[in-house]
Amino acid sequence: MALVRKIIAQSTVDGPGNRTAIFLQGCNIRCAYCHNPETQAMQDAEAKEMSVAEVMTEVRKGIPFIRGITVSGGECMLQAEFLTKLFQAVKALAEEVHHPLTCLIDSNGTVPFARHPQLMEVCDGVMLDVKAWDSETYHLLTQARNDEVVKENLAWLLQHHLLTEVRIVCLPKRVDVEVILQNIAKIFDSIGEKAPARLLRFRPHGVIGELANHPMPSDEQMAEYAALAASLGLTATVK
């Protein structure tokens, strides 16, 4: 069983192609810019306990219109065992209906993927958030101190060809975007593998707390980040 916050049957913003997106309840960090803070608590009256079979009933409705599923959160890796069973069920369904389906994870990278080999066997890729590079910056943004795990995950996923994309929420002063870009470029070079980077513009929509009314970074600022990424040899898209 997993605690499911929401299932979106048709999502065009959670990975490549058209996907069914499943949002699990509960997160282990507290990002100041979180745009769905209602999914942070480990328990919530609006979240629903669902079995793999119940989630699969929803996934089935998307055949043959979806390319796969994306599980997000909250932090979905906190329910890794459920993910393993869900992804196994999705792969079985793909065989049954002769329609390829991919299983992606959208994660903050604070749970080591290397410790879940069975899950990684049925997972087609991870969209990894890199919140900040500097440990203090990370702590100020997330109230957490698990950033070393994120960096280890970044390298591990890259080595195992499971890094679908790196996501960076761009919020000047609060996020060290330039440092992140420089360091992921370094890691890409040292491993000799690459993954696309997605530069997400901070948007106050849904945000609560100190950043609720914070302005979005300007087009010029986003263009500067994109230019830096390009100069570092990264394939980056701005959204």
Partner 1 sequence: MADIYSIVTSQKLSYEQKVVALAHAAEDTLSVLPMPERTRFYFDKGVICNLNEGNAPYRPRYIMPDYEKAVKQGVKFLELDPPQDFDELLTFLQVLYRHVPSITTYPVFLGDLDKLIEPFIKDLSDEEVKRKLRNFFIYLDRTITDSFCHANLGPEATRAGRLILDVDRELEQAVPNLTLKYDPAITPDDFAEQAIYTSLCVANPAICNDVLNAKTYDRYGISSCYNILPIAGGSYTLTRLVLPRLAEMTKDKEEFLTKLLPEAMKCMADYMSARIRFIVEKSGFFESHFLAKERFVERDRFVAMFGLVGLAEAANHFAPEGKKYGSDAEADEIAEQIMDAITAFVDAYECPYCEIANHRLLLHAQVGIDTDYGITSGIRIPVGDEPESIYDHLRHSSRFHRYIPTGCSDILPFDITGKQNPAAVLDIVKGAFSLGQKYIAFYASDSDLVRITGYLVKRSEIEKWNKGQAVLQNTTQLGAPTYASAHLANRKVRGV
Name the one range near partner 1 by CB under 8 A: 7-15, 86-94, 106-114, 127-135. Answer: 7-15
Instruction: Return the number of other C-beta atoms located less than 10 Å from residue 233's C-beta.
Output: 10
Smallest separation, CB 7 to partner 1 (Å): 12
Q: Using the rule CB under 8 A, is 100 a contact of partner 1?
A: no
Calpha distance 169→225 (Å, rounded): 11
Query: Minimal distance in Å, beta carbon 196 to partner 1?
Result: 14
Residue located via tokens 């440092």: 179
Contact residue for partner 1 among 7, 33, 62, 232 (CB under 8 A): 62
| Residue 95 interacts with partner 1 (CB under 8 A): yes or no | no
Choice from 4, 5, 7, 19 touching partner 1 (CB under 8 A): 19
| 18 binding partner 1? (CB under 8 A) | yes
Query: Does 10 contact partner 1 by CB under 8 A?
Result: yes
Residue of 29, 52, 66, 229 interacting with partner 1 (CB under 8 A): 66
Q: How many residues interact with partner 1 (rule CB under 8 A)?
A: 18
Q: Give the whole-angstrom CA distance, residue 96 versus residue 94.
A: 5
Cβ-contact 225, 181 below 8 angstroms: yes
- The reply to whether 196 sits near partner 1 by the rule CB under 8 A is no
Closest-CA residue to 201 (of 179, 217, 213, 212): 217
Contact 123, 105 (CB under 8 A): yes
Q: Which of the stretches 2-10, 152-160, 176-184, 216-224 binds partner 1 when contact is defined by CB under 8 A?
A: 2-10
N residues, the chain: 239
Start-to-end CA span in the chain (Å)? 34
> Contact between 93 and partner 1 (CB under 8 A)?
no
Half-sphere exposure of 36 (CA within 13 A, CB side): 12
Positions touching partner 1 (CB under 8 A) are 8-13, 16-19, 61-67, 239
